[in-house]
Amino acid sequence: MEISGSRMVVEALKREGIDTVFGYPGGAIMNVYDELYKQDDIKHVLTRHEQAAIHAAEGFAKVTGEVGVAIVTSGPGFTNAVTGLADAYMDSVPIVVISGQVPMALIGTDAFQEIDAVGISRACTKHNYLVTDAKDLPRVIKEAFYIARSGRPGPVHVDIPKDVSAQITEFVYPDKAEIPTYNPAFKGDLEKIKNAVEAIKSSKRPLLYVGGGVVQSNSGNLVREFAEKTGIPAVETLMARGVMGSTNPLLISMVGMHGSYAANIAMSEADLLISFGPRFDDRVTGKLSEFAKEAKIIHVDIDPSSVDKLVASHYPIIGDLHSVLTDMLPLITEIEPEQFEDWRDAIEKNDKLHPLGYDKGEAIKPQEVIEKIGEVFGDRANISTDVGQHQMWAAQFYPFSRPRQFNTSGGLGTMGFGFPGAMGVKAGDRDRVAVNVTGDGSILMNIQELMTAVEYELPVVNVILNNNYLGMVRQWQTLFYDDRISETDLTVQPDFVKLVESFGGVGYRVETMEELEKALLDAEKRNVVALIDVKVDRRENVMPMVPAGGSLYNMMLR
């Protein structure tokens, strides 16, 4: 079959099982848009900004575990997409981003809307391609999907010059990507797994350090089984929220800068850290020289460059976590949950001493807003967030019950991620309520997506924890800069209710907890794009807090 390069793109997407793409057209990508027009299998969601298209593809990928796809034009279309690529790169999100490029003959001439896209994306993608001949397109797209989803997942960018998408040539879509230089690790070394199990047997204070890799590899059930079988308590990173389930007695809480007291102390007192797919981020470890000083470290990760990068491990195991856990579980014999009872009791005592909590007051506390959303929606909702205090409160206080329930920008910390991310989540999981917990600062960074959400019936419920501040920065100013509030006061604000209504959504202004509950239920029932503006105590701080660079066990508590 001889077809155009642009038709190949669409055919290839179909064969990859893609039914939804997010994007924004422009000159250099028009051939592809013309092909999208001629078919009905793939639905295109026109976001109102390219950054949002990428975040939506990320949200889709995170909630479904499949590859998300976004399409943008050359020049500014592509540069607008860069933040999204970087976000996906930092959080290992499998997406494929296709961009148009000026025709081959114009590349390098400073042509209209020309930018060296692969030069820019090289630093923030797992891999990228500039396609110079349409006969390479089928192979390139096949490889792009394979690379995005295999090994440690990540974004792949494919840049297609306009004359290449117009070029007509033979189309044969390969069954399989064959890249001789790319062999992602799969099975872990059995000897090493056995040694790790021996270390677990002889440990006294073992701790499961559960990271985002567990979600990526769909190993949540195996990790829960591991914990149950051994009675070993667990802490979760931000990216792993939901893995253990909030009602699990073995889950201590989140660990790290805003982790719970008991979780951070457990990390510091453990004699064995069983690390399943975390990356020892500085927001988790605090001061490295003081990190888990008492512990031997087992580190299971699919990415060899993650192991021993920051913290030297005693039992490194490189492999797919799901496969490693499948090999590991049957080896776990002679471990009785009773043997760690004292350790669990000590942790429990710490948790009672300084539980995650807050003081109620006159004004609505942001934490109680999260608790209320949890009470009203619980397992029924997928929670996305923006970046700031509200993000940390969502991570601390939402009763997560399963992996992939929590969708947040962890590595890059991208304000503006939440709303388009939640649109992608909704597109990928229609049966659940898509909530975006956001801030009065963050929501304005992709507010134009109200239009997309209304047009495509992606009823995201945005809950603004409105503190009239860039709260997280304000918190640092208060704590570390003598409360000099430099450019973080957001007293001047839009009327959020009118704003959302002008786009055709529904707005709620909420001043009491009863009103909040009503608004949440109403938004769910009416199935509308909603913006709930909740005035919260503006001076509340996220606690506990490990000051940046400090030791994990030295927390400010209130």
Partner 1 sequence: MREDRHIISVIVQNESSVLARISGLFAGRGYNIESLTVAPVPNDSGLSRLTIETYGSCKTVTQIEKQLNKLIPVLKVVEKDDFVEKEMALVKVPIEESLSDVDALARAYNGKIVNVGDGSIICMVADEPTRVAYFIKAIQKYNPIEIIRSGVVALER
Q: Which of 210, 318, 224 is nearest to 273 (CA)?
A: 210
Q: Please identify, among the stretches 71-79, 121-129, 208-216, 502-510, the one whose residues bind partner 1 according to the rule CB under 8 A.
A: 121-129
Helix (H, G, I), strand (E, B) or coil at 434: strand
Region 457-516 residues binding ligand TPP, contact defined as CB under 6 A: 465, 467, 469-473
Residue 305 makes contact with partner 1 by CB under 8 A? yes
130 binding partner 1? (CB under 8 A): yes
Give the DSSP letter string of 75-102: THHHHHHHHHHHHHHHTT--EEEEEEE-
Q: Which listed residue (121, 414, 462, 477) binds ligand TPP by CB under 6 A?
A: 414
H helical segments located in 231-378:
261-269, 282-285, 321-328, 341-353, 366-377
Q: By rule CB under 5 A, what string of x and - marks binding of each residue 437-466 to Mg ion?
A: --xxx-------------------------
CA–CA separation, 167 and 133 (whole Å): 8
Q: Does 303 bind partner 1 (CB under 8 A)?
A: yes
Q: Is residue 271 at the binding interface for partner 1, with CB under 8 A as the rule? A: no
Size of the site for ligand TPP (CB under 6 A): 20
* Binding flag, residue 122, partner 1 (CB under 8 A): yes
What is the total count of residues that contact Mg ion (CB under 5 A)? 6
- If the CB atoms of residues 248 and 541 are measured against ligand TPP, the closer one turns out to be 541
127 binds, among Mg ion, ligand TPP, partner 1, none (CB under 5 to 8 A by kind): partner 1
Instruction: Give the Cα separation of 72 and 101 in Å (integer).
Output: 10
538 CB-contact burial (10 Å; exposed 0-12 / middle 13-18 / buried 19+): middle
3-state helix, strand, coil in the chain (%, to 5): 40, 20, 40
> Which is closer to partner 1, CB of 97 or CB of 147?
147
Tell me which residues are annotated as active site. Answer: 50, 112-113, 162, 472
- Decide which of ligand TPP, Mg ion, partner 1, none touches 147; Cβ closer than 5 to 8 Å per partner kind: partner 1
Which of partner 1, ligand TPP, Mg ion, none binds 324 (CB below 5-8 Å, type-dependent)? none
Question: Which distant-in-sequence residues (6+ apart) come within 8 Å of 98 by Cβ?
Answer: 9, 29, 32, 69, 70, 71, 72, 157, 158, 160
Stretch that binds partner 1, among 187-195, 305-313, 412-420, 535-543 (CB under 8 A): 305-313
The interaxial angle of helices 389-397 and 471-480, nearest 10 deg, is 100
- Considering only 424, 471, 505, 507, the residue that binds Mg ion (CB under 5 A) is 471
Q: How far is CA 420 from CA 53, 84, 256, in A?
A: 7, 11, 27
Question: Does residue number 192 form part of the binding site for partner 1 (CB under 8 A)?
Answer: no
Residue 182 touches which of Mg ion, partner 1, ligand TPP, none (Cβ within 5-8 Å per kind): partner 1
Helix extents (H) in 503-550: 513-526
Residues 413-442, mask of contacts with Mg ion (x by CB under 5 A):
--------------------------xxx-
CA-CA distance, 400 to 108, in Å (whole number)? 50
Which residue has tokens 């949890």? 374
Residues 6 or more apart whose CB falls under 8 angstroms from that of 237 comprise: 209, 210, 211, 212, 254, 255, 256, 278, 281, 284, 410
Binding site for ligand TPP (CB under 6 A): 386-390, 413-416, 439-442, 465, 467, 469-473
Residues that bind Mg ion (CB under 5 A): 439-441, 467, 469, 471
- Contacts with partner 1 by CB under 8 A lie at 118-119, 122-123, 126-128, 130, 147, 179-182, 303-305, 308-309
